[in-house]
Amino acid sequence: MHIAIASGKGGTGKTTVAVALARVMGSCVLVDCDVEAPNAHLFLNPDVQNTQDAYVMIPEVDDGKCTGCGECSRVCQFNALAVLGKSVLVFNELCHGCGGCVLACEPKAITEGGRLIGTMQWGKAGNLDFYDAKLRIGEPMSPPLIKALKRQAECLEAKNTILDCPPGTTCPMVEAVGGADYCILVTEPTPFGLHDLNMAYQAVQQMDIPAGVILNRAGMGDDCIQEYCKANGIPILLEIPHSREIAEGYAAGKDILSSMPSLEDGFKKVINTISEGLNNG
Amino acid sequence: MLICISSQGPDLDSQVDPRFGRAAQFIIVDTETGEAKAVDNNQNLQAAQGAGIQAGMTVANTGAKALLTGHCGPKAYVTLNKAGIEVYTGCNGTVAQAIEDFKAGKLQKAAGADVEGHW
């Protein structure tokens, strides 16, 4: 099964949860899809065995063949192409690599080139297969890199995969969560935690993916998350206590199971609950 | 000579639109005959990105040789420059005023963009 760990609000503890679940699962694949700020490696200290650059398709124009018909510019939904007389200006940074211009070009003046968007790496962390990627500095579009990373991880055809997703509900999150069997939404009992949980839950519902909540820093704040989940029929899979012990361990780069071993059973139950739910559903 | 002025409305009395890519309209003026016509820029007002590029193409297709506007972004500038169109920024007041300033040589040709994209 493929489990995505997401949240509306950043800083709720997605990576903490992802690493803990991966640890209790034993042999599985952990994919850190937060390519703008990957940090799961800080807790896992993986042995990196492979590195690979990732590229996005961009159009390359043969001016000699170009007739200046302008069809490529008309078809481009991202305004990345400007046809001026019989030459074409390509604004690579606006291109989303959809390939429409290549198809539209009747004289075949446009072919596919590539633009570096980031670097993927993967290896082992104990029993875990670990994948992450870093977006090239200055690169505004992360979804193509997330997609490439997921495809790379899928090569293993693993039975179990955990995806540590970017925060928020925009394209990177949708790209990372898409295709998952289940989505765990991590949140905290604060007004922002509630507000952004609601947004994330709506996003996941739109994607037709079953979801459950893990409440981090439980005991701080009020019962707003419990009430929201009850009202919407969302299971609360686990409550992680608001604990200085956990915070100190986190700051030292320790995963939460090392800081609070008593949580191991709770995380195992999360896996079992999801697994049973998916089997019965 | 045809020149183009970014405009908030359809005639010479309209205020210059300080934006180029997402200008409301463009006024195309023949400086020799005084003839003027308006070209709308509706398609670019809501563009998520690349409004300046498309607006640049629109201006190029009118045959204008100079653009008068308030500000010009980097991609718009590259597009206009490639099309051989001179760019003059810093215009304000009415379209008619901008034209008079241009004819009087009061406007300085821009050497590059004067604002970031998405301004």
Question: H helices within A26-142, ranges in order?
Answer: 41-44, 71-75, 100-104
State the count of interchain CB pairs (< 8 A) between A and B. Answer: 39
| Chain A residues touching residue B63 (CB < 8 angstroms) | none
Tell me whether B80 touches chain A (CB under 8 Å). no
Chain B residues in contact with A94 by the CB 8 A cut-off are 49-50, 53, 75
User: Taking a C-beta distance cutoff of 8 angstroms, is the pair B85, B64 a contact?
Assistant: yes
Q: What are residue B35's phi and psi, to 5 degrees? A: -65, 135
Instruction: Please check whether residue B94 touches A, CB under 8 A.
Output: no
Give the pairing type, strands A182-187 and A2-6.
parallel
SS3 at position A113: strand
The Cα A155–Cα A106 span in angstroms is 36
CB-CB under 8 Å, A82 with B47: no
| Distance (Å, whole) CA B89 – CA B107 | 8
Query: For the CA atoms of chain A, what is the radius of gyration?
Result: 22
- Residue reference for tokens 């009020």: A222
A32 CA: distance to closest CA in chain B (Å): 29
Q: Which residue of A has its CA nearest to B59?
A: A84
Q: Is B75 on the interface with A (CB under 8 A)?
A: yes
Strands A87-90 and A110-125: unpaired
CB proximity list for A69: less than 8 A, separation 6 or greater:
A83, A106
Torsion of CA B26, B105, B115, B27, to 10 degrees: 0
Q: Which of A34, A39, A17, A10 is nearest to A193 (CA)?
A: A10
The sign one gets for the Cα dihedral A7, A183, A246, A223 is positive
Q: What is the pLDDT of residues A108-164, one digit of tens each?
A: 999 999 999 999 999 999 999 999 999 999 998 899 999 999 999 999 999 999 999
Distance, CA of B28 to CA of B3 (rounded, Å): 6
Cβ–Cβ gap B49/A94 under 8 Å: yes
Reported ipTM exceeds the 0.90 cut: no
pLDDT in tens, chain B (119 residues): 999 999 999 999 999 999 999 999 999 999 999 999 999 999 888 888 899 999 999 999 999 999 999 999 999 999 999 999 999 999 999 999 999 999 999 999 999 999 988 76
Interface test with B, best of A89, A93, A170 (most B CBs within 10 A): A89
